[in-house]
């Protein structure tokens, strides 16, 4: 091979690798690059051990006895998955029903805007995002409502990511992010004009505890909406396949135990809320929320190869391959939960705090 052919072959190979890692890598336009995958706040050399600890804790969620330990393990989980989520899904860590003729991005935004429309806030009012992730919903909601949004997440790394995204989006005047436990929030009583939680309170060992905290920080008369992860009335605890799917969802998503749909309103009433409306947003005629997960399968295989290469050459922390594999399996359990309709990630409950 002469020098010119060698040069062009080399350039072609280098371009191909760049395209595979950096262009194909981020499934979402604004997602993270594969080359930036990290263990969040966990140092690279500890990722594998932390994954093992996580796995032994959540392997049998129904047997979790020490509820106090759950928030710490949830924090570890988000250190392990946050970059992979952003890389492969985007900045909103939740599902939404598909909408014919609309992109996933638009369907996600509409699902988020619906939450803030339900709590009827006015521009300039202060609202709380309970379990805010890296702030995808918070930014959509602040732009749509012009309310001031305060987000809380237990994960320090997500706080940093959310603040960076807020600044880059020019929304840092409207969006604030606090690191803390939603079971003991660092806010005074009667602070907020409204609150919402999107697929986050499912991490609470006892739903009443997080609902009681939200109730405490809301102003009397204001509204709270939540999109809850639940088993539906189609779930049969005697059916082995149903149990396998639900346990698969629990372990791959750091859940101390999925609740039945009928437990949600009960928990809300127990802490003093009036239930204004309750509806499973996944139920027909809504289009399936799990199609996006299933459609991504080819990309997950590609991601799997990318993660293996990056981990082998020391760019991604060791352990990233295990975490990715766990998510890969979880995607399958979630799709099965959706298809069989035994599971919903969007059981919506709208509540009001009494006037006092």
Ligand X SMILES: C=C(CC[C@@H](C)[C@H]1CC[C@H]2C3=CC[C@H]4[C@H](C)[C@@H](O)CC[C@]4(C)[C@H]3CC[C@]12C)C(C)C
Binding residues for ligand SAM, per CB under 6 A? 71, 74, 78, 92-94, 131-133, 136-137, 152-155, 158, 181-183, 198-200, 203
Place of tokens 């379990």: 131
Q: Tell me if 111 sits within 8 A of 302, measured CB to CB.
A: no
By beta-carbon proximity to ligand X, the closer residue of 141 and 174 is 141
Q: How far is the CB of 125 from ligand X (least distance, A)?
A: 26
In sequence order, the β-bridge partners of residue 350 are: 225, 277
The answer to whether 57 contacts ligand X (rule: CB under 6 A) is: no
In sequence order, the β-bridge partners of residue 343 are: 231
The DSSP secondary structure of 241-307, one letter per residue, reads HHHHHHHHHHHHTT-S-PEEHHHHHHHHHHTTPEEEEEEETTSTTSPPSSHHHHHTHHHHHHHHHHH
Q: Tell me if 166 sits within 8 A of 135, measured CB to CB.
A: yes
The answer to whether 165 contacts ligand X (rule: CB under 6 A) is: no
Q: How far is the CB of 71 from ligand SAM (least distance, A)?
A: 4
The answer to whether 93 contacts ligand X (rule: CB under 6 A) is: yes
Q: Are strands 218-231 and 192-198 parallel, antiparallel or unpaired?
A: parallel
With CB under 5 to 8 Å by kind, the binding choice for 137 among ligand X, ligand SAM, none is ligand SAM
By beta-carbon proximity to ligand SAM, the closer residue of 129 and 322 is 129
The answer to whether 193 contacts ligand X (rule: CB under 6 A) is: no
| Closest residue to ligand X: CB criterion | 88
With CB under 5 to 8 Å by kind, the binding choice for 128 among ligand SAM, ligand X, none is none
By beta-carbon proximity to ligand SAM, the closer residue of 183 and 264 is 183
With CB under 5 to 8 Å by kind, the binding choice for 213 among ligand X, ligand SAM, none is none
**Residue 224, both tokens:** 């709270």
Give the whole-angstrom CA distance, residue 145 versus residue 153: 21
Q: Which of residues 289-318 bind ligand X (CB under 6 A)?
A: 293, 296, 300, 303
Among 233, 237, 234, 127, residue whose Cα is nearest residue 174 = 127
Q: Which of residues 249-288 bind ligand X (CB under 6 A)?
A: 253-254
Name which position in 94, 109, 165, 251 contacts ligand X (CB under 6 A).
94
By beta-carbon proximity to ligand X, the closer residue of 24 and 276 is 24
List the beta strands (DSSP E) in the chain. 126-130, 148-153, 175-179, 192-198, 218-231, 259-260, 274-280, 343-352
Phi and psi torsions of 52, nearest 5°: -60, -40
Provide the 3-class DSSP secondary structure of residue 235.
coil
What single-letter DSSP state applies at residue 185?
-
With CB under 5 to 8 Å by kind, the binding choice for 132 among ligand X, ligand SAM, none is ligand SAM
Q: How far is the CB of 134 from ligand SAM (least distance, A)?
A: 7
With CB under 5 to 8 Å by kind, the binding choice for 78 among ligand X, ligand SAM, none is ligand SAM
The answer to whether 84 contacts ligand X (rule: CB under 6 A) is: yes
| Angle ∠(170,113,333) on CA atoms, nearest 5 | 105
What single-letter DSSP state applies at residue 124?
T
Give the whole-angstrom CA distance, residue 72 versus residue 155: 9
With CB under 5 to 8 Å by kind, the binding choice for 88 among ligand SAM, ligand X, none is ligand X
Name which position in 75, 129, 199, 250 contacts ligand X (CB under 6 A).
199
Give the whole-angstrom CA distance, residue 225 versus residue 85: 24
Name which position in 51, 58, 85, 196 contacts ligand X (CB under 6 A).
85
With CB under 5 to 8 Å by kind, the binding choice for 133 among ligand X, ligand SAM, none is ligand SAM
**Residue 134, both tokens:** 């890296």
By beta-carbon proximity to ligand X, the closer residue of 94 and 139 is 94
- Using CB under 6 A, list all residues that contact ligand X: 84-85, 88-89, 93-94, 199, 202, 253-254, 293, 296, 300, 303, 324, 327-328, 330-331, 334
């Amino acid at each position: 091979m002469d020098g010119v052919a060698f040069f062009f072959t080399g350039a072609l190979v280098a371009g191909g690798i760049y395209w595979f890692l950096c262009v194909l890598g981020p499934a979402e336009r604004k997602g993270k690059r594969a080359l930036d995958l990290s263990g969040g706040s966990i140092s690279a050399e500890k990722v594998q051990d932390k994954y093992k600890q996580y796995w032994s804790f959540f392997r049998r969620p129904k047997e979790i006895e020490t509820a106090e330990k759950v928030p710490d393990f949830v924090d570890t989980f988000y250190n392990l998955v946050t970059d992979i989520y952003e890389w492969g899904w985007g900045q909103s860590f939740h599902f939404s029903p598909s909408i014919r003729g609309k992109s996933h991005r638009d369907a996600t935004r509409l699902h988020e805007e619906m939450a803030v429309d339900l709590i009827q806030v006015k521009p300039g009012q202060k609202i709380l995002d309970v379990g805010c992730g890296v702030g995808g919903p918070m930014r959509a909601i602040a732009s749509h409502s012009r309310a001031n949004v305060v987000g809380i997440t237990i994960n320090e790394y997500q706080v940093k990511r959310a603040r960076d995204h807020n600044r880059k989006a020019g929304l840092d005047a409207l969006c604030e992010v606090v690191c803390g436990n939603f079971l003991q929030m660092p806010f005074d009583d009667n602070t907020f004009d409204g609150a919402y939680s999107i697929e986050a309170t499912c991490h609470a060992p006892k739903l009443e505890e997080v609902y009681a905290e939200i109730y405490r920080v809301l102003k009397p008369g204001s509204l709270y909406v939540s999109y809850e992860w639940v088993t539906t009335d189609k779930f049969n605890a005697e059916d082995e396949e149903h149990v396998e799917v639900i346990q698969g969802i629990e372990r791959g998503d750091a859940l101390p135990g999925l609740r039945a749909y009928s437990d949600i309103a009960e928990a809300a009433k127990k802490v003093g809320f009036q239930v204004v409306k309750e509806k499973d947003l996944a139920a027909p005629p809504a289009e399936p929320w799990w199609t996006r997960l299933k459609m991504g399968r080819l990309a997950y295989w590609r991601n799997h190869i990318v993660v293996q290469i990056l981990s082998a050459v020391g760019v991604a922390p060791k352990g990233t391959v295990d975490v990715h594999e766990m998510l890969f399996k979880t995607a399958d359990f979630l799709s099965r939960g959706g298809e069989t309709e035994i599971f919903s990630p969007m059981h919506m409950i709208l509540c009001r705090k009494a006037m006092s």
